[in-house]
């Protein structure tokens, strides 16, 4: 069983444990020196690893997405931890639990799923309610909805991430619809539940998060629209205008053409969905970046998706001088020797 996790590794530490191989390649320097370079991961994160000697035969014994037993030592290189490998042995399935290698939502998946179903049960529009129930309760969809990540890298990029993202958006939407009663709450909720449903087929998430072939060729917006369109066809009397509004929510939720939406948000609900989705995804990306050990005590490393580094606000504020308590400042004044100038803060009388 796995003994050490990425989050526990320290500079200089000898390590012998299991990892999932998520990247593999042989690199060659300008001087002709070659080495085996890997990216190893577990549920707490990933770490680069290099084998410098006698790696040619070993490299042929495993591939990406295989679990291996490694022996090596952690070191810092340009301020980043990596493992110098001494041994790599492919692991048999009986030797590991796949759950040790895939990051997972910290929330109870079944509780999240119950919250989703409860929100759908509260819909007043019978057509939207039936549509959502037909999707989230479909035996072919529900298990994947519970496991799918919401993205490959940007946000909620872990098992159960999509469901966590959807339930988070449901919570956000309650405040928004209370503030803006002109919004159709049922339609907005439908967009929240359905906007990323195509992720269940766009991404593969059995041994790591990566794109499927349909995901690469079509994308989750196209896939999700097709899923919803097929379900609508099975609901007698579903209003065609309502169907168009639902599809528009999916097609426009990225907010702009350059970010992959084939159309811009052109209804109140579509605009609200876009900004709610954008805020939740960015806050989740910031949470993940701030929880990592990247960067230094005050700043994280640059997040490529957010295109910026993030200030660790608590650490920054902790460095500021603490204000002198009021009681202490009075005692200082009282202790001042006679003749010492005292500042008069009392308002002067006319």
Q: How confident is the model at residue 7 (pLDDT cuts 50, 70, 90)?
A: confident
For residue 76, is it within any domain? yes
The reply to whether 95 and 239 lie within a common domain is no
Highest mean pLDDT among 149-153, 163-167, 293-297: 163-167
| Residue 9 backbone dihedrals phi, psi, to 5 degrees | -70, 140
Q: What is the pTM of this model?
A: 0.76
Q: What is the mean pLDDT of residues 127-147?
A: 96
For residue 181, is it within any domain? yes
Residues 80-99 as b/e (b if ≥16 CB within 10 A, e otherwise) read ebbbebeebeebeeeebeee
The reply to whether 69 and 189 lie within a common domain is no
Percentages helix, strand, coil for the chain (3-state, rounded to 5) are: 45, 20, 40
Q: How confident is the model at residue 343 (pLDDT cuts 50, 70, 90)?
A: very low
Q: 258: number of CA atoms within 13 Å, CB side?
A: 0
User: pLDDT tens-digit profile of 187-244?
Assistant: 999 999 999 999 999 988 777 778 889 999 999 999 999 999 999 999 999 999 999 9
Predicted local confidence at residue 303, as pLDDT:
80
The reply to whether 118 and 80 lie within a common domain is no
The reply to whether 284 and 160 lie within a common domain is yes
For residue 114, is it within any domain? yes
Domain residues for the domain of 116 are: 109-291
Predicted local confidence at residue 129, as pLDDT:
98
The reply to whether 135 and 280 lie within a common domain is yes
Q: How confident is the model at residue 287 (pLDDT cuts 50, 70, 90)?
A: confident
User: DSSP character for 347?
Assistant: P
Q: Hey, is 10 helix, strand or coil?
A: coil
pLDDT at 342 over 50: no
C-alpha closest to that of 102 among 26, 145, 43, 176: 43
User: DSSP character for 28?
Assistant: E
Q: How confident is the model at residue 345 (pLDDT cuts 50, 70, 90)?
A: very low
Q: What is the mean pLDDT of residues 23-46?
A: 90
Q: How far apart are CA 97 and CA 35, in angstroms?
A: 29
Q: How far apart are CA 278 and CA 188, in angstroms?
A: 15
What domain count does the chain have?
Answer: 2
The reply to whether 231 and 271 lie within a common domain is yes
For residue 301, is it within any domain? no
The reply to whether 88 and 141 lie within a common domain is no
| Residue 283 backbone dihedrals phi, psi, to 5 degrees | -65, -35
Dihedral sign (CA 24, 25, 27, 33):
positive
Last residue of a domain, one of 74, 99, 124: 99
Q: 230: number of CA atoms within 13 Å, CB side?
A: 9
The reply to whether 120 and 67 lie within a common domain is no
Dihedral sign (CA 255, 256, 257, 260):
negative
Tokens 């549509």 belong to which residue?
A: 131
Which tokens in the block code for residue 162? Answer: 């999509």
For residue 325, is it within any domain? no
The reply to whether 173 and 260 lie within a common domain is yes
Q: Hey, is 104 helix, strand or coil?
A: strand
Question: Element (H or E) spanning 144, and its range?
Answer: helix 142-147
Supply the mean pLDDT for the chain: 88
Last residue of a domain, one of 244, 275, 291: 291
For residue 280, is it within any domain? yes
Domain with residue 233: its CATH number is: 1.10.3210
C-alpha closest to that of 34 among 48, 54, 17: 54
User: pLDDT tens-digit profile of 35-76?
Assistant: 999 999 888 878 999 999 999 999 999 998 899 999 999 998
The reply to whether 124 and 89 lie within a common domain is no
Residues 190-229 as b/e (b if ≥16 CB within 10 A, e otherwise) read bbbbbbbbbbbbbbbbebbbeeeeebeebebbbbbbebbe
Last residue of a domain, one of 271, 291, 311: 291
Predicted local confidence at residue 349, as pLDDT:
44
The reply to whether 194 and 51 lie within a common domain is no
Tokens 């097609």 belong to which residue?
A: 251
Residue predicted with more confidence, 140 or 326: 140
- What residues are paired with 71 via a beta bridge? 16, 87
Domain with residue 70: its CATH number is: 2.40.50.140
Q: How confident is the model at residue 306 (pLDDT cuts 50, 70, 90)?
A: confident
Predicted local confidence at residue 218, as pLDDT:
95
Predicted local confidence at residue 339, as pLDDT:
46
For residue 23, is it within any domain? yes
The reply to whether 59 and 199 lie within a common domain is no
Q: How confident is the model at residue 291 (pLDDT cuts 50, 70, 90)?
A: confident
Predicted local confidence at residue 330, as pLDDT:
53
Q: How confident is the model at residue 82 (pLDDT cuts 50, 70, 90)?
A: very high
Predicted local confidence at residue 348, as pLDDT:
44
For residue 236, is it within any domain? yes
pLDDT at 344 over 70: no
- What residues are paired with 37 via a beta bridge? 25, 50
């Amino acid at each position: 069983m796995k003994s050490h996790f990425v989050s526990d590794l320290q500079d200089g530490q000898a390590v012998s444990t299991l990892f999932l191989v998520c990247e593999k390649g042989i690199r060659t320097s300008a001087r002709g020196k070659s080495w085996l370079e890997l990216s190893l991961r577990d549920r707490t994160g990933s770490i680069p690893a290099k084998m410098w000697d006698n790696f040619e035969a070993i490299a042929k014994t495993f591939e990406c997405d295989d679990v291996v037993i490694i022996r090596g030592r952690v070191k810092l290189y340009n301020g980043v931890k990596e493992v110098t490998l001494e041994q790599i042995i492919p692991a048999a399935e009986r030797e590991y639990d796949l759950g040790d290698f895939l990051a997972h939502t910290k929330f109870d998946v079944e509780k999240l799923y119950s919250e989703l179903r409860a929100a759908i049960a509260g819909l007043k529009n019978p057509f939207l309610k039936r549509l959502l129930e037909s999707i989230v309760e479909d035996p072919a969809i529900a298990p994947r909805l519970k496991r799918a990540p919401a993205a490959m890298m940007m946000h909620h990029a872990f098992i159960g991430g999509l469901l966590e993202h959807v339930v988070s958006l449901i919570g956000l939407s309650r405040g928004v619809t209370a503030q803006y009663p002109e919004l159709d709450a049922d339609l907005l909720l439908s967009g929240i539940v359905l906007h990323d449903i195509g992720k269940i087929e766009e991404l593969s998430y059995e041994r790591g998060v990566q794109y499927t072939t349909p995901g690469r060729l079509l994308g989750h917006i196209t896939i999700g629209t097709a899923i919803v369109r097929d379900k609508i066809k099975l609901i007698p009397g579903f209003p065609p205008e309502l169907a168009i509004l639902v599809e528009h929510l999916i097609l426009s939720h990225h907010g702009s053409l350059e970010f992959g939406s084939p159309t811009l948000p052109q209804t109140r609900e579509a605009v609200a969905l876009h900004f709610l989705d954008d805020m939740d995804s960015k806050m989740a990306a910031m949470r993940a970046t701030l929880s990592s050990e990247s960067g230094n005590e005050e700043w994280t490393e640059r997040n490529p998706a957010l295109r910026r580094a993030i200030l660790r606000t608590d650490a920054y504020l902790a460095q500021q001088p603490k204000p002198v308590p009021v009681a202490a400042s009075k005692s200082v004044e009282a202790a001042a020797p006679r003749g010492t100038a005292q500042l008069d803060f009392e308002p002067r009388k006319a």
